[in-house]
Structure 1
């Protein structure tokens, strides 16, 4: 391409390229005459392509394409090209979506630009890719791209005009630094399946919307540090199944909404810390099945009506809440009875030294299990619950024993049963006679020496039967406690 074929605006860009100087068309400098169409001077994409592939060079200078405030006409096509110059096109308006699929770039900065899309799948960028504050009215395609630096889409506005296409296609993306999406506004699906980010993902204050389906698909996502999403507002399903985040997944003050479906799916994830506190309750189902969390920061008021916790494991649970506020979380699981969830909550309370709360969780576990038993199992369970609280309320057994002892002692004190062998029987004691009836193992020699009649004989049968039931429930409770320890 000859310089005589260029417009005045393009000549400025051509002359500035060899030294890496910045051409800012917003300054109204010389060389940007009114002959250019519209308020934005136009630069043909073909001219930019020629500069990047075969542009002039000067000795001891670093060539770079730095343009601010231009209109890029035509389509910038650098597919499978190798560009060793820095590319910085800021505050520019593109008539067509740049095509960078398979390209190898040094550094690309398109901050504050307006684009109808960007096709850069399988591209390789040795530095960072900046799309800060861009308005992209079409898909951003970076699937399979490799970025040696960071990816910036902070405060960008991205809209997928075709609902069948993702707004951000970032699947299999590899970023060697951070992915900054703070304040991002996206309308449509964001695909991060299989992506790898060596640093952190920052989505604080982001607004994501795809009410008809999934808004963030990030299965098998690998993050080197943290996933930060404070104050994020998301309409649609967030799917993080199988993701790995060794640091913190921070959803403080977030608003997650997908009524009638799953709002947040984190099944089979491995997470260092999960923060789900403050802000409105999750509108939709929360799925944490088979997840492994080191420290779970979970506020009861944040939970939705449906929570799936099958095989969820965690080491610490904060903030410390009474068992009565944590147990409804386990009742909201719409699956089958899962004893593991109760054991996890019990272990969390024992870690903090709250044995009373741990016993309440174990008691709730037995009561939940009772609902799954046949009628005779449920009946026996009710007896154990009423007698000694399944062994977790041992003082209740002492209360029953003292009450029955008082009833029997008073009854037999007013009516001594006749001795079986007159002259050979020991002195009758209503207290020890009642204890003989109540305690199935210990004998004080009273029961075998006297034979009550009539109503008092019926009372003796009731005391014997009640004593056996009480002893059986105590033994069952002690057995559970010992085996648990």
Structure 2
């Protein structure tokens, strides 16, 4: 392309390119690229001119060429598909009339910050440095599937899609992408789906203060995402499913102050994940189901009121829970399990309390587990379970058995003190002692010689039978509870 074929605006860009000088067409700080379609020829540059510069533009010895354009209206289609560009490409605050075609291109650096585009097609893109799209606005998808970005990806403050238009494709496509450092997307607004399936991010993914709007659909689709450090989503607002199934987040997955909402659907699916710490501190109650099946988490920080009415936590493993709360506050969650009674969930909660050194909570959880299990048994087995529960709390309430024994001992002592049973052999029986006679009836193993020497009559005889039967029941249930407790130890 000859310089004589260029407009005055294009000549400015052509002359600045060899020296990597910037050309700023803005007329004021409040210029909005969203209205750039009305900009005149004095700030209009054809895409074919930019393509000619990037693929074979003039250079000068001793200078590093580069494209640095601000506030321009770019007409036509910027076609760099499979192209190799040796120069930095910086197109800030520009208005693109058509979608840039960068599929498979190899670039040093690409900057599109504050620009407005219909869409961006840049799948399998390779950059040696960063890709900056901070505060960008698009009405259609940003296609970066399979991209190889050596530096970071910046989407802070970007707005993808519009509330009035529903896009059939994910609006941000980063599936199978490899990011050399971080994905910074604070205050990102997306009216559709973000796809991060199989993506690899060496550093962190930051979605703090972002808004994802996909009601009835998937707001964040990040199955098998691999993150080097953290996935931050503090104060995230997500309408639609957040799917992190199979994700690997070695440090923090933070939903602090977040609001997840997918009524009637699955607000959070994080099954088969490996996570260092999962934080829901000060988060709003989750609207929709939560699925954490088979995930492994070192620390789970969540208050009971954040959990929804239905959860799936079978196979969930965690080492510790925060904040530390009484077991009575944590147990209702296990009743919400969609699959019904899961013994492993009670054992996992027991393990967490045992690691915290709270043995009282351990006993409470184990007792709740046996009571929950009782509801699954036949009627005759439930009756025996009720008896064990009432008498000794399945062995976790040993003082309850002592209370029953003391009450029965007091009853028998008073009854037999008022009416001594007759001796079986006059002159050979020992002196009657109502306390030890009652103990003889209650304790099936220990004998004080009183029971065999005296025989009550009438209703006192029935009282003695009651004491004998009750003593055997208490002894049996106590032995069963102690044995169960010892086996757990």
Taking structure 2 as the reference length, the TM-score comes to 0.95
Alpha-carbon offset, residue 378 of structure 1: 1.0
Consecutive unaligned residues in structure 2, runs of 5 or more: 29-37
Contact 2:413–2:435 under 8 Å retained in 1: yes
Residue matched to 1:258: 262
User: Measured at CA, do residues 447 and 177 of structure 1 come closer, stay the same or move farther in structure 2, by a change above 3 Å?
Assistant: same
User: In the aligned structure 2, how far is the partner of 1:101 from the partner of 1:420?
Assistant: 106
Alpha-carbon offset, residue 40 of structure 1: 6.6
Could you list the per-position Cα deviations for residues 116-137 of structure 1 after superposition, in whole angstroms to 9, with x for gaps in the alignment?
0001111111111000000011
Consecutive unaligned residues in structure 1, runs of 5 or more: 29-35
Contact 2:256–2:281 under 8 Å retained in 1: yes
User: In the aligned structure 1, how far is the partner of 2:234 from the partner of 2:354?
Assistant: 30
Residue matched to 1:116: 118
Does residue 100 of structure 2 align to residue 82 of structure 1? no
Of stretches 438-447 and 205-214 in structure 1, the one that deviates more from structure 2 is 438-447
Contact 1:261–1:285 under 8 Å retained in 2: yes
Alpha-carbon offset, residue 416 of structure 1: 2.1
User: In the aligned structure 2, how far is the partner of 1:122 from the partner of 1:4?
Assistant: 36
Aligned Cα root-mean-square deviation (Å): 1.5
> 1:83-482 alignment to 2 at 5 Å?
83-159=85-161, 161-482=165-486
From 46, 49, 65, the counterpart of 1:44:
46
Residue matched to 2:11: 11
User: In the aligned structure 2, how far is the partner of 1:98 from the partner of 1:422?
Assistant: 115
Contact 1:40–1:69 under 8 Å retained in 2: no
User: Measured at CA, do residues 25 and 445 of structure 1 come closer, stay the same or move farther in structure 2, by a change above 3 Å?
Assistant: same
Alpha-carbon offset, residue 162 of structure 1: 4.8
Taking structure 1 as the reference length, the TM-score comes to 0.96
Contact 2:140–2:167 under 8 Å retained in 1: no
User: In the aligned structure 1, how far is the partner of 2:413 from the partner of 2:284?
Assistant: 60
Alpha-carbon offset, residue 334 of structure 1: 2.1
Could you list the per-position Cα deviations for residues 379-401 of structure 1 after superposition, in whole angstroms to 9, with x for gaps in the alignment?
11111111111111111111000
Contact 1:249–1:274 under 8 Å retained in 2: yes
Alpha-carbon offset, residue 153 of structure 1: 0.7
**Could you say what secondary structure the match of 2:373 adopts?**
helix
Contact 2:8–2:42 under 8 Å retained in 1: no
